[in-house]
Structure 1
Amino acid sequence: MSPKSLSIESDASNVAHRGRWKVFIVAFTAILMPMLLWTLASPLMSVPDEPSHAIRAAAVVRGEISSVPWSENTQLARADVPRYVAHAHELTCYAFDPTISAGCMRPVAGDPLKIVTTGHSAGTNSPAYYAIVGIPTLVLDGTPALYAMRGVNAVLTAATLALMIMQLTLLRRSRWALVATYIAVTPMVIYLGGAINPNGLEIAAAGALLVTLTATFRIPSSRAGLWERAGFVVVSAALLLSTRSIAMLWVLLIIAAAFALGDKTIVRQLLRKPAAWTAVGLSALFAAGTAYWYLHPAGLSPQQFQGAGTSPRVAFVEMLSRTLDFADGYVGLFGWVDTPSPSFSVIAWSFAIVATIAAALVLGTARGRLTVLALALLMIFIPAITQVVLISSTGYIWQGRYMLALLLCLLVACGIVIDDSDRLPVLPLALKRALMGMLVLLAFGHVFSLLTTLRRYVVSVTGGLREMLLEPQWQPPLSWQALTALMAVAVGAAVWLTYRRAATPLPVGSLAAGTNIVETKAK
C-alpha cells in the first residue's frame, strides 16, 4: 500500500471512528425493534426446540452446568427447574400442525415455582449461552420470565449485529456492504433473534467477527483503536463459540475470509502489536474450552430421525440435489418448521441474494471473486458433508437455518468486494430507483412473513382475515394488528437508513483515483 493510499484510508476511517457509537445506537435500535415484535408475535415455545433451550437455560443458571441422561428418556438431559419452565413442553400443542391455532395453550397446573425434574434435548450444547439467557428466571417467574429470556436473546443478537454494522462503517467504503447486510438479515434472522434459541446469536456473532477482523486487517489503527477492535474480536468469537458445535468451523472459515479480504502489509504490522496477540490468546482460550466441552459429551443416547442408516454416498447426493430447497429456511420457515414465508418473500430474497453474489463475482477483484466463490461453494458442500458424518447415527437433521451464519458472512463479503470495485462517487438515477425498489420489496417481505405467521397462530391456516378480525382464537401481546403496523414502521425505517447511506455521494478523495486500496502496492 502506498503512503498516499494509506493516508486516505486512515483519514476516512478517523472520520467514521469519531461517530461510531452513534452508528451503533441507531443500528441497535433499528434491529432490536423488529426482533422484539417477533418476540411478542410468536407464541411462547413456538420456535424449534425452544422448550429445551428454555429448560437448559433455567438449569444452567441454577448450577447444573454439566448434563446427565434423564432416567425417563436417556436421549434427553435431566434438569431440575421451576414447574413453569418445565411446562414449556406442554405449550407446544400446536406444533407441526398448522391447522391448530395457539388458542390450545393452557396455563401451568399446580405451583408454578415448585422445582421439578424434566428433560431437554440441549444437553450437548455449551452452557455459556444459557448462563446469560437464563438470568431472568432468577428474578422473574411465569410468563414474564419466559418473555424476558427471549428479550435477553434479542438484546444480545441486536447488539452484536449493531457491532457488525458499526465496524462496516469504519471501512473506507461501505455502501454495498450495508445493502448486503440489509439483504442478509432475513425475516428468519429477526425471528430467531427474538426467541430462546442460540441460532440467532450465532448468526450475528459470525457477522461481527468477520467484519471486525476485516476492518482490523484493512485499516491502520491507533493504539487505543486497535485495543478496542481486539476486544470486539474476543467478544464476537466468544459469543459465536458459545452457540453450537459447528461454530468452531465458522471461526476458522471467518479468519480465512478476513485474511483474504485484508491488506497483507497491515496484517504483517499486526504481528508486532500486543493487542493482536492478546486477542489471539484469549480467543484461543475460549476455543480450547469449547473444544474440551464437545470432546467430553454428556453420554446421551442418540436421537433417531428419518433416514437413519442411509448410505453416506446416497445422503451426500441427496443433500446436493436439495441445495435450493433450503431457501425457505434462509428466508423464513417459522414455528416448528410448519409455517413457511409467503412465496413473495422467498422470491424477493432469492433474487436479491443471487444478484448480490453475481455482482461480486462480476465486479470484484481476482482475490475478492475467489473469496466469494469459496464461501458460495461452502454453502453448498458443508450441509452435504455434515449430513454424511451424521446420517448413520441420527438420520437427516439438516435445516436451512443452520447455514444462516455463513450466508450472512457470504453476503457481507460480497458487499465489501463490490465496494472495493465501485468507481462511481454518485449513483445513477436508474440504479437509485432499482435499489429503492428492491429494499421496499424486501420490507414488504418482512411484513408479509410476520402477518402470515400471525394468521397461523391467531386462527390457524384454515382461517382468514375476517376470522382474525372478528373471531381470533389467540391474541399476542398488543394484538396482531398493532404488531403488524409496528413492523411496517420498523422495516420502513430500516429501508430509509439503508437507502440514505447507499445513495449518499462518496466524499471527495475517498476513491483514491479509482484504485482498490487493498490491492494497491507500494511503488
Structure 2
Amino acid sequence: MPDGRRALPARRARVPQSGDARAALGRVAGRTFLWAFLALFGLGCGWALAVPYDGFPDEARHAVRAWSAAGGEWVFHGPVLADGTPLIAAPRSLAPNAPASSACFHQHPQLSAACSPPAGLRSDAHHTVAIASGAGRYNPLYYVIVGQPLRLWPTLRGIYLARMLSNALVSALFATSLAVARTARTGRRLLSGLLVALTPVALHLSSAINPAGVEIAAAVMLWSGLVLVVDGRATSPTLIRVCGVGAAVVATVRAGGVAWLALIGCVAALGLSRRHARVLAHSLTVRRWAAVVAVALLAGVGWSAWQDPTGQALSVPPGQSRFSVIANTLNVDVWGRGEYLVKGMVGLVGFGDTSPPGIVFPLWFCACGVILFGSVALTGWRDRARLLLLIGGTAVLTLAADAGPISQGWYLSQGRYLLPVLAGVPILGSYLLAERGILDDAHMARLTRCYVVVLLPFQLITLYATMLRYQRGFPSGDPIPLMPVNPFKGDWLPPLGPQLPLVLAAAGLAGLGALIWRTASRSDTPPAPEADAVPPTHRPARAQRT
C-alpha cells in the first residue's frame, strides 16, 4: 500500500454446510472416539489387572469412601481421629490392613505385594473394621458412581469392576480429546501436545479407584477444547460443550479443582481477543454452558466450605513467622522435592515409590522441552506470558498448599496433583507453534509421528516396571543392585496371571499409536459446520512480533 501499511486478507466467507457434511463430520468423530476409547480402555484394563489392591495411590482410602457414598452416606457423620481425619466403617475385604490405612509395601519398593493380607475375600465381606480416610469428606460425585460395584460385591469382583468403571470414565474423557483433535479444522496441531500430556502417570491413574484420574482426563479434555475456542477462534457448539463438561468435572471432582480452574481461566482470558470474546458472549450455547460451569463452581466451593475436606492439613501452627514458613516451604519444595514433583508428573507411579527405568524421564522432558522452549522463545509476548503464567501460577499454588503441611512436618503435594494444569503447557504450546507459523502442519505431523514412536513404548515399559516391583520387589544394594527382569514370576502374581495385563496394554497402545499416526498423516477431515471452526477474521499463520 502507498502508506506502507500491510494489506489484510479479505474476510473468509461463511459457507453454510449441508446436512451431509455435518453427518460426515459426526461419523468421523464417532469412529475416532470409539477407536480411541477402546485403545485407552484396553491399556487401562492392563493397569487394573496388573496392580494389587491399594497399589494405586491411596486406593483403599478412596475405596472405603466410595463404598460408604454408594450406600447413601454422602456426608460423613462418623468418628474422627485427633487430627480430624474421618474413621470410616467398611468391610475388612476393602481394608485388609486395618487399622493401618495403607499396605505394608507402601514406600518400601523392595517389598512385593505378598507382604499384604489378601483383599476382597468373601469371608471378610461381612466383617466391619474402621479405617482412617482423608477422603471421608470429599465431594461424593465420583464416589457414588464407582462405588456401586463395591456396594454390591465388596470382594475382588467389586474391586475390579470399580476399577473398570473408573477406567471407562477416564478413557471416555481422553477419547473425546482425540476426537476433537481429529475433527476440528486445526485440531491436528494438538496431537503432539496430547502425547506429551498423557504421561504414564496420567494413564496409570485411569484404572485407580481415585478421582485424580478423572480430574486429569477432564482437564486434558478442557484444554483441548479451550485452545481451539480461544486460539483457534472456533465457535462450534460441540467444542463449547466439551469445554463446559471438562470445566464442570474439574470444578467438582476434587477440592483443588476450583483453584486450577481459576488459573486455567486466567490463561484463556489472556489469549482471548476482544472481537472473539464478543462473538462468544452472544452465543446462546456459550451462555448456557457458562451457567452450568458457574453452578459446578458454586457446588465445588460450597462443598469445600461446608465439609472442609482438607481439615487441619493446610493450617499453619501458631508461633511460626510468615518468613520462616515461606523459607521452609521453598527449601523443601524447591531444593528437597523439586525433582520428585517433576518426575511425579511423568513416571513415578503407585505412591511415588515405583519408577520406570531412568531413561524415561530425560526423554519425556526433552519431548516436552521441544514444545515448551520453542513456543516460549519463538512466539509473541502474549503467548509467552500465558505459558509462563501457567507454570508460575502452578508453582505458587503448590507452594501455598504445602506451606501448612510443611510447617507441621509433612508435605501434601504430589506430581500427579499438578497434571490438570500443567497438561495445558504442551497442549497449548504445540498449537501455538503451528498457529504462529513456527512449524507448518507438515512439520507438526512429523513431530507427532516421532512422539508416537518415542513416547508410547514408555507407557508399556512403565507398566512392565510396575509389575516387577509389585511381584518381586526392587532389591536395594550398593553400588548397583541386580534388578529383576522376568514379569511372569514373583512372590505375588495378578489374580488372572501376568500375561493378560501385558497383552491388553500392548494391544491398546498399538491401537492408540495407529490412530494418532493416521490422524496426524491424513488431511481428509470433513469441513467444520458453518463458522464453527472459522475465525471471525482470518489471519495467515505467521510469527508474532516480539
2:416 matches 1:401: yes
Work out the CA distance in 2 between the residues paired with 1:257 and 1:30.
32
Alignment of 1:340-351 (within 5 A): 340-351=355-366
Deviation by residue 1:309-351 (Cα, 9 ceiling, x = unmatched): 7632221244234534422201121222221222011121111
- Of residues 309-318 and 327-336 in structure 1, the stretch that sits farther from structure 2 once superposed is 309-318
Aligned residue number for residue 48 of structure 1: 57
Aligned residue number for residue 540 of structure 2: 515
Aligned residue number for residue 412 of structure 1: 427
Aligned residue number for residue 364 of structure 1: 379
Q: Which amino acid aligns with 1:97?
A: H
Q: Which amino acid aligns with 2:113?
A: A
Gaps of 5+ in 2: 1-7, 476-481, 528-533
Q: Secondary structure at the match of 1:106?
A: coil
Residues 505 and 21 of structure 1: is their aligned pair in 2 closer, same or farther, counting only changes over 3 Å? Answer: closer
Residues 393 and 3 of structure 1: is their aligned pair in 2 closer, same or farther, counting only changes over 3 Å? Answer: farther
2:392 matches 1:387: no
Please report how far the alpha carbon of residue 274 of structure 1 lies from its aligned counterpart in structure 2 after TM superposition: 2.8
Q: Tell whether the 8 Å contact from 2:346 to 2:364 is kept in structure 1 after alignment.
A: yes
Work out the CA distance in 2 between the residues paired with 1:301 and 1:69.
15
Q: Secondary structure at the match of 2:372?
A: helix
Q: Tell whether the 8 Å contact from 2:45 to 2:504 is kept in structure 1 after alignment.
A: no
2:502 matches 1:484: yes
Work out the CA distance in 1 between the residues paired with 2:445 and 2:241.
37
Work out the CA distance in 1 between the residues paired with 2:234 and 2:441.
26
Work out the CA distance in 1 between the residues paired with 2:193 and 2:466.
25
Please report how far the alpha carbon of residue 59 of structure 1 lies from its aligned counterpart in structure 2 after TM superposition: 0.7
Aligned residue number for residue 461 of structure 1: 474
Q: Which has the higher helix share?
A: 1
2:492 matches 1:474: yes
Alignment of 1:280-295 (within 5 A): 280-295=290-305
Work out the CA distance in 2 between the residues paired with 1:242 and 1:325.
27
Deviation by residue 1:87-142 (Cα, 9 ceiling, x = unmatched): 36577232221121112233448441345544312123212121112121233330
Deviation by residue 1:371-428 (Cα, 9 ceiling, x = unmatched): 2222132343332233235433463222211111112111111122122134766636
Q: Which amino acid aligns with 2:442?
A: L
Aligned residue number for residue 519 of structure 2: 501
Deviation by residue 1:452-487 (Cα, 9 ceiling, x = unmatched): 111111111138547654x52111144323423443
2:373 matches 1:352: no
Please report how far the alpha carbon of residue 43 of structure 1 lies from its aligned counterpart in structure 2 after TM superposition: 0.7
Deviation by residue 1:342-368 (Cα, 9 ceiling, x = unmatched): 201112111111111012224434433
Work out the CA distance in 1 between the residues paired with 2:394 and 2:25.
33
Aligned residue number for residue 94 of structure 1: 105
Q: Tell whether the 8 Å contact from 2:45 to 2:167 is kept in structure 1 after alignment.
A: yes
Q: Which amino acid aligns with 1:443?
A: L
Give the percent of matched residue pairs that are identical in Structure 1 and Structure 2: 23
Work out the CA distance in 2 between the residues paired with 1:420 and 1:181.
16
Aligned residue number for residue 149 of structure 2: 136
Work out the CA distance in 2 between the residues paired with 1:259 and 1:347.
33
Please report how far the alpha carbon of residue 49 of structure 1 lies from its aligned counterpart in structure 2 after TM superposition: 1.2
Residues 267 and 114 of structure 1: is their aligned pair in 2 closer, same or farther, counting only changes over 3 Å? Answer: same
Aligned residue number for residue 306 of structure 2: 296
Q: Which amino acid aligns with 2:277?
A: V
Please report how far the alpha carbon of residue 163 of structure 1 lies from its aligned counterpart in structure 2 after TM superposition: 1.8
Aligned residue number for residue 30 of structure 1: 39
Alignment of 1:68-467 (within 5 A): 68=77, 70-71=79-80, 75-87=84-96, 89=98, 92-107=103-118, 108=121, 110-217=123-230, 218-219=232-233, 221=235, 226=237, 228-297=238-307, 302=312, 311-321=325-335, 322-393=337-408, 395-422=410-437, 427=442, 436-462=449-475, 464-465=483-484
Q: Secondary structure at the match of 1:80?
A: strand
Residues 515 and 229 of structure 1: is their aligned pair in 2 closer, same or farther, counting only changes over 3 Å? Answer: closer
Q: Secondary structure at the match of 2:359?
A: helix
Q: Tell whether the 8 Å contact from 2:90 to 2:129 is kept in structure 1 after alignment.
A: yes
Deviation by residue 1:480-507 (Cα, 9 ceiling, x = unmatched): 2342344333323323322332334588
Residues 434 and 211 of structure 1: is their aligned pair in 2 closer, same or farther, counting only changes over 3 Å? Answer: closer
Residues 507 and 39 of structure 1: is their aligned pair in 2 closer, same or farther, counting only changes over 3 Å? Answer: closer
Aligned residue number for residue 69 of structure 2: 60
Work out the CA distance in 1 between the residues paired with 2:518 and 2:87.
51
Please report how far the alpha carbon of residue 27 of structure 1 lies from its aligned counterpart in structure 2 after TM superposition: 2.0
Please report how far the alpha carbon of residue 249 of structure 1 lies from its aligned counterpart in structure 2 after TM superposition: 1.2
Work out the CA distance in 1 between the residues paired with 2:430 and 2:159.
37
Residues 355 and 424 of structure 1: is their aligned pair in 2 closer, same or farther, counting only changes over 3 Å? Answer: closer
Gaps of 5+ in 1: none
Work out the CA distance in 1 between the residues paired with 2:284 and 2:543.
24
Q: Tell whether the 8 Å contact from 1:164 to 1:207 is kept in structure 2 after alignment.
A: yes
Give the TM-score, by structure 1 length. Answer: 0.86
Work out the CA distance in 2 between the residues paired with 1:25 and 1:299.
36
Q: Which amino acid aligns with 1:193?
A: S
Please report how far the alpha carbon of residue 61 of structure 1 lies from its aligned counterpart in structure 2 after TM superposition: 1.2
Work out the CA distance in 2 between the residues paired with 1:276 and 1:86.
45
Work out the CA distance in 1 between the residues paired with 2:220 and 2:492.
36
Please report how far the alpha carbon of residue 33 of structure 1 lies from its aligned counterpart in structure 2 after TM superposition: 1.6
Q: Secondary structure at the match of 2:220?
A: helix
- Of residues 310-319 and 159-168 in structure 1, the stretch that sits farther from structure 2 once superposed is 310-319
The number of residues matched between the two structures is 511
Q: Which amino acid aligns with 1:271?
A: A
Residues 424 and 199 of structure 1: is their aligned pair in 2 closer, same or farther, counting only changes over 3 Å? Answer: closer
Work out the CA distance in 1 between the residues paired with 2:274 and 2:13.
13
Deviation by residue 1:32-86 (Cα, 9 ceiling, x = unmatched): 2211211111111112211110011111111212224635665421323333223
Q: Secondary structure at the match of 2:88?
A: strand
- Of residues 172-181 and 84-93 in structure 1, the stretch that sits farther from structure 2 once superposed is 84-93
Give the TM-score, by structure 2 length. Answer: 0.82
Work out the CA distance in 2 between the residues paired with 1:201 and 1:518.
36
Q: Which amino acid aligns with 2:461?
A: F
Work out the CA distance in 1 between the residues paired with 2:365 and 2:148.
38
Residues 128 and 46 of structure 1: is their aligned pair in 2 closer, same or farther, counting only changes over 3 Å? Answer: same
Work out the CA distance in 1 between the residues paired with 2:213 and 2:78.
27
Q: Tell whether the 8 Å contact from 1:42 to 1:476 is kept in structure 2 after alignment.
A: yes
Residues 312 and 365 of structure 1: is their aligned pair in 2 closer, same or farther, counting only changes over 3 Å? Answer: closer
Q: Secondary structure at the match of 2:111?
A: coil
- Of residues 289-298 and 480-489 in structure 1, the stretch that sits farther from structure 2 once superposed is 480-489
Q: Tell whether the 8 Å contact from 1:436 to 1:499 is kept in structure 2 after alignment.
A: yes
